[in-house]
């Protein structure tokens, strides 16, 4: 078994989070032999607890071949953290994904990227702002990163596509379970003009706890995160906080004070996020001078 297959297999074990997986990998002289170790040997060599050692020891390696068949079925590429083509910005965060499944293509120009995120229950004003800013940033050469969710995310992707620009969608599931289902056609459009990516193995369902983990990739791929609308418990606020932890810029479009979906953006502005009225506000904060 080669390193590539071994990493895919380890990534299929849900309990092995990226930081732990990477630590295990770096602690072994021949990590591709990991599935042949006894539990005691795993514990001694890697320092993990017996529960994790048991998960690795009992993993059915036949699942790796099944996974690779799904990769072919969905026409995916797979990158690992060891590959030179792994996204530069994402590699800089503290816990980058060990494996990335990609439908479409990641390019070097994606280093110039902005994430646009917000509420699933967005107002018409919010949807318009999402598409408008996405369109205008795309015209300037930015890649638009978002999470394929209903509402702000969907309109951000569509704004980039409308401008003929690049966009990257980050899934909170595997490719067997595109979520939301109504965006299946959008996935095909995005993959032809950018990329749809996931760190989750193909048969991973869109469990709620996957999405906060997904959000670190959205911010990690980007120079900054533009929050359009966000309620008190919005996942967009998680993305904004992750962006700050990753030393990324956080931008917010102000909203009406009587709208619940404005609470998050207005609060972030009050706490120091950059208030954005137009594109130059973003360029100024990023110290960029770009003309269409």
Model pLDDT for residues 186-235, shown as the tens digit of each residue: 999 999 999 999 999 999 999 999 999 999 999 999 999 999 999 888 88
Query: For position 94, what pLDDT does the model report?
Result: 93
Question: Taking a C-beta distance cutoff of 8 angstroms, is the pair 124, 109 a contact?
Answer: no
pLDDT over 60 (residue 292): no
Torsion, Cα 122 151 199 221, to 10 degrees, reads -70
Query: For position 155, what pLDDT does the model report?
Result: 98
Model pLDDT for residues 108-135, shown as the tens digit of each residue: 999 999 999 999 999 999 999 999 999 9
Question: Taking a C-beta distance cutoff of 8 angstroms, is the pair 171, 197 a contact?
Answer: yes
Model pLDDT for residues 35-94, shown as the tens digit of each residue: 999 999 999 989 999 999 999 999 999 999 999 999 999 999 999 999 999 999 999 999
Model pLDDT for residues 142-157, shown as the tens digit of each residue: 999 999 999 999 999 9
Provide the whole-model pTM: 0.95
Bridge pairing between strands 224-227 and 194-198: unpaired
Q: How far apart are CA 17 and CA 187, in angstroms?
A: 26
- Which one-letter DSSP state was computed for residue 260? G
Question: Taking a C-beta distance cutoff of 8 angstroms, is the pair 126, 229 a contact?
Answer: yes
Model pLDDT for residues 256-280, shown as the tens digit of each residue: 888 888 999 999 999 999 999 999 9
Mean pLDDT for the chain overall:
94
């Amino acid at each position: 078994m080669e390193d590539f297959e071994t990493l895919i297999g380890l990534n299929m074990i849900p309990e092995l989070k990226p930081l732990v997986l990477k630590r295990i990998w770096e602690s072994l002289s021949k990590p591709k032999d990991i599935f042949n170790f006894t539990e005691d040997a795993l514990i001694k060599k890697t320092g993990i607890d017996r529960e994790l050692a048991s998960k690795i020891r009992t993993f059915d390696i036949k699942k790796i071949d099944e996974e690779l068949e799904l990769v072919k079925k969905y026409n995916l590429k797979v990158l690992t953290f060891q590959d030179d083509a792994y996204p530069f910005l994402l590699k800089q965060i503290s816990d980058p994904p060990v494996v990335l499944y990609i439908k479409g293509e990641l390019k070097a120009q994606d280093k110039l990227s902005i994430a646009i995120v917000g509420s699933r229950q967005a107002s018409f004003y919010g949807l318009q702002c999402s598409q408008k800013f996405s369109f205008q940033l795309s015209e300037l050469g930015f890649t638009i990163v978002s999470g394929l969710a209903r509402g702000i995310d969907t309109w951000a992707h569509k704004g980039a596509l409308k401008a003929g620009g690049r966009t990257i969608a980050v899934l909170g599931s595997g490719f067997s379970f595109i979520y939301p289902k109504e965006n299946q056609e959008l996935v095909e459009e995005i993959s032809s003009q950018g990329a749809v990516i996931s760190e989750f193995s193909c048969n991973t369902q869109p469990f709620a706890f996957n999405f906060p983990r997904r959000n670190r990739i959205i911010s990690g791929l980007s120079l900054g995160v533009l929050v359009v609308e966000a309620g008190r418990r919005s996942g967009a606020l998680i993305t904004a906080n992750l962006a700050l932890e990753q030393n990324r810029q956080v931008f917010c479009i102000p909203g009406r004070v009587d709208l619940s979906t404005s609470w998050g953006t207005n609060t972030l502005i009050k706490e120091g996020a950059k208030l954005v009225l137009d594109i130059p506000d973003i360029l100024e904060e990023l110290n960029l001078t770009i003309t269409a």
